[in-house]
Structure 1
Amino acid sequence: MKRYFVTGLLIWVPLGITLWVISTLVGLMDSVLLLLPEGSRPRDVLGMHIPGLGVILVIAIVLITGLLTANILGQRLVKFWEEVLNRIPVVKSIYGSVKQVSDTVLSDSGNAFRQALLVRFPHNEAWTVAFMTGTPAPELASQLDGEHVSVYVPTTPNPTSGYFIVVKKSDTIELDMSVDEALKYVISMGVVAPPSKPEAALLRAEPLVAHRQNNPADSNLPG
């Protein structure tokens, strides 16, 4: 009975959490409909509430906003709006921080979370999965010898919190796994391992062998 109960939980818990998250997101987006004037809301027009209309409205607003701000006039309006927000003390700090993070993560030209790495953390005898986020700022790079990279070390099982560290590029090992696979591996605390790729085994072995030759202390590194 215990084994059957645990098996049932393994089926229903992920499904239930997924449905709850989707339901919450749809509910939040549907609340946007309350911003419409009375009489023009779907409930007033159709006589009933239809879940999901808020999602369509939000997607439409985002697409229209992107379309309008893609030209020179739209960019000038956005710049003017940002200058207004930057003059408000508290809003300036919050908006500026969120803006910088979103531009880095969502921009096509950004380097955030483009490569999964193996780095030493939290000490030289331990290794963990991290994500390269770019190169150190010039102020930091001028104080360091050699080539360094900026990495984000996520915590388990919540990867939204973590540590930002700067390490030597030679002390990192690029992993032959996608960012999604690495995130699943971190969130599952190492239980859900990425699928094996036999055809890439030799390619993975070469940098590991070279790293061990340059760092004899890592001879016990698995792989």
Structure 2
Amino acid sequence: MTNASPPASGTVKHSYTIPCASAFRDAVEALAARHRVNVGDIARSVLLVMPSPVIAAFADPGEPPAGDRETVILKSGPAEGRPWRRKPRLQIRMAPGFEVSFIRRALALALAMDSGSMVLKLEDPNARPEPPPPPPPPPPATEVNHAIEAATEEVERLKAIVSVLAFDPLPHGISSRDEALHVLGFPPGSRPDKRTIRARFRMLATIHHPDSHYGSHHRMSQLNQAMEFLRD
């Protein structure tokens, strides 16, 4: 059997036996009684209005647990009149082609909608979509001007800091390891490893490269000279 859509009207109906827990059976039968329909009508209504993928994705209440059984009196056959313990079930007549678990899911969906835990919202396919909300108004011009002024002040402050921290090139060039380390910003007596030296050089090169905003050809040349000295 498949989870296909219900066949067209006039198709010969099939009798389904839906094993289920007693509480589930009682709830479905009570729902049908309140609406004065049979259980098959409830299942067919859900199949008509809900897409098959939605029904298939809904949790299956499953078969009854081992201890959930009902006693019936056999009405025919050699054991006629004797009691028989069997699984609780629902008997439904509807179009063929459905899996039992699919119908059980449809009935569970009906109970969920009846209890309000799931709401079915029907939309007009021809309705125009609601327009998106308007964008928020731009900030007042005074706020924009204050932000620009604050950013400009911060840039000027950073320029001053870079200018103060920038080293003065040694007039006679670099002639010792200590002088090379001084140009790279290391204190006297320090002995940084090669990795630390390379990292410091890259950082200073981004500041003092002639193409940068704060660049200086003289300082960049001395940075290169310091690295050459330390490589040797």
Q: Normalised by the shorter chain, which TM-score bucket?
A: under 0.3
Greater relative contact order structure (CA < 8 Å, 6+ sep):
2
Higher strand share: 1
Higher helix share: 1
Superposition TM-score, scaled by structure 1 size? 0.19
